[in-house]
Structure 1
Amino acid sequence: MSQKVTRRQFLNYSLMGVGSFMAAGMILPMGRMALDPLFQEDAEGDMVTTSVTIDEITEEPMQVDFTFEQEDAWYTSEVTDFAWVFRDGDEIIAFSPVCKHLGCTVTWAADDNNPERFFCPCHNGLYEKNGNNVPGTPPTGPLDQFEVGESDGYLTIGQVVPNQLV
């Protein structure tokens, strides 16, 4: 005795199968996206070693270049950035060169009228040596800092953090 599948049962099975594949096609990517952070390595706190030794750093801010790998979706590139680094007593300070007004690059002692300040050439913005914005100039907040450390006598630079000096 063979069981015959009726037309109604065949359509029912077909629609259920196709519907299941379509639902899985929509739900699986959403589930993967939701769970993906659990499978990623935590990159926060990674420090980049620079070519500057700790002994080279003085009380005068100096530009220190550093290079790191940046991953954007499926593309990995090597990015070169820099920080303004100086000593404040025994502490080493590293400021981000990005102005808080419009994101221009600040320089140290570039303005003849303000030789002991960071200067933003875009709109004549000024910052004190501690990164605090000078009142009456365009910047809306203090310069951000980088985490700093030491590895085998060389300066290491980490993530950007809010200014801790002001």
Structure 2
Amino acid sequence: MSQKVTRRQFLNYSLMGVGSFMAAGAILPMGRFALDPLFQGEAQGSMITTSVKTEEITEEPVKVDFSYEQQDAWYTSEVTDFVWVYRDGDNLIALSPICKHLGCTVTWAGDDANPDKFFCPCHNGLYEKNGKNIPGTPPRGPLDQYEVRDSDGFITIGEMFENELV
């Protein structure tokens, strides 16, 4: 014996089914977005090896270029950047070239009046060799530091962090 489905029941089932598909279509992407960090693999390694040999680094800051791949949505590009690296005893120190005042690029010994300091040409900002901003000049804080190591005789650059030398 078969039961007949009334028109009211048919419309109810149809609307519930369509509503469920629409709700799932809206909720599933949000759930995937919330859980995405769990599905991401660990980074292959955050240290970037440069072409500069560790033995070339002295107590005078040297510009060390490095490049890495950056992915923006679906577009992957190679970014080239640099750090200022010098030796402090047995330690290697790497400082960011970005001024804390307006984000300009600082240079070592860029000002003839201050040959042993980092100089920001935007507003005549000065930093000491360890990245500490000199009072009376525009910078609001010390230059950031990078993790730096020796890997098989070459400089490797890691993550940026707040200056711990000052």
TM over 0.5: yes
Cα distance in 2 for residues equivalent to 1:10 and 1:42: 50
For 1:106, the equivalent position in structure 2 comes to 106
Question: How big is the alpha-carbon RMSD for the aligned residues of Structure 1 and Structure 2?
Answer: 1.1
2:58 maps to a residue whose letter is: T
Give CA-to-partner distance per residue, 1:86-140, whole Å, 9 cap, x none.
0011110000101001111000001011110000011111000010000011100
What secondary structure is seen at the aligned counterpart in 2 of 1:68? strand
CA distance in 1, matches of 2:103, 2:83: 14
CA distance in 2, matches of 1:149, 1:73: 31
**1:9, 1:26 → 2: CA distance?**
26
Aligned to 1:88: 88
Q: Which residue of 1 aligns with 2:30?
A: 30
2:133 equivalent in structure 1: 133
Does the 8 A contact of 1:45 with 1:158 survive in 2?
no
How far apart, in 1, do the equivalents of 2:11 and 2:4 lie? 14
Residue aligning to 2:157: 157
1:85 Cα shift? 0.5
Asked whether 1:19 is paired with 2:19, we answer: yes
Structure 2: stretches of 5+ with no match in the other structure: none
What amino acid does structure 1 have at the position aligned with 2:164? Q
1:8 maps to 8
Q: 1:58 maps to which residue?
A: 58
C-alpha deviation, 1:151, in angstroms: 1.4
Q: Partner amino acid for 1:43? A: A
Q: Which TM-score applies when normalising by structure 1?
A: 0.97
1:40 deviation in Å? Answer: 1.0
Shift of 1:45: 5.8
Share of identical aligned residues, percent?
A: 77
Contact kept, 8 Å, 1:44 with 1:159, in 2: the verdict is: no
**Aligned mates of 2:98, 2:44 — CA distance in 1:** 20
* Contact kept in structure 2, 1:97 and 1:105, CA below 8 Å: yes
Q: Please tell me the residue identity of whatever aligns with 1:149.
A: R
Gaps of 5+ in 1: none
Matches within 5 A, 1:116-131: 116-131=116-131
SS across alignment from 1:34: helix
Structure 1 residue identity aligned to 2:64: V
